[in-house]
Amino acid sequence: MRWPHPLDSLKYKISQLDEAPPPWRRVRGDELSVAARYPATDSVSEWGDEILALDQLLVEGFVQKPLQKVATDAGRIIDKLWQSLRLLRAFFEAQGSRLHNLRSVLKGHGPPSERAVASKQARTVHGTLRAHFTALAGEWDAAFVRILRALGMAIHPD
């Protein structure tokens, strides 16, 4: 099945992992999947909330210790204090890729000036924050496929 929206495609892949989670992935469940949705307005706050929900669904499901082994096996020297996102980055740096993390700027440690720059850039490139979120969901959907393949997971067509 072809999904008309990248967020639906990503949620489908995550639901497949939830059915038989590998050691490096924690079951995310329906509640987080339902919480991740497209922004309904062009509000920066709502845009940030939806990016946070998507990040929680996607990134926070990775388990640290098994990812440490995956990154080490890929030839990376890692710090034992790195959390799952940094471990994924190390793994993909070994593969020649980088993942972008907008969540920190919008809902984490970024100052208001960085949020303003991020929203202005998103609107300039995509027209609306919803269009940006849709593009971002598509990028994350493609990145998730690369993650699953790199970690040796069979990808079922969506």
pLDDT tens-digit profile of 65-102? 887 887 788 777 777 777 766 766 666 555 545 334 57
The per-residue pLDDT for 40 is: 94
The per-residue pLDDT for 98 is: 35
Residue bearing tokens 């471990």? 87
φ, ψ of residue 63 to 5 degrees: the values are -100, 130
CA angle in degrees (0–180, nearest 5) for 134-94-106 = 35
Q: How many CA atoms lie within 13 A of 44 on its CB side?
A: 16
Q: Which residue has the higher pLDDT, 103 or 129?
A: 129
Residue 87 CB contacts under 8 Å (≥ 6 apart), including other chains: 62, 64, 67, 68, 70, 71, 78
The per-residue pLDDT for 101 is: 56
* Mean pLDDT computed over every residue of the chain: 81
Tell me the C-alpha distance between 9 and 4, whole Å. Answer: 8
**Beta partners for residue 62, in sequence order:** 25
Q: What percent of the chain has pLDDT over 90?
A: 21
Q: What is the pTM of this model?
A: 0.78
**Helices (DSSP H) in the chain: which residue ranges?**
6-19, 29-35, 44-58, 64-73, 84-94, 103-107, 112-126, 129-150
Amino acid at 92: F
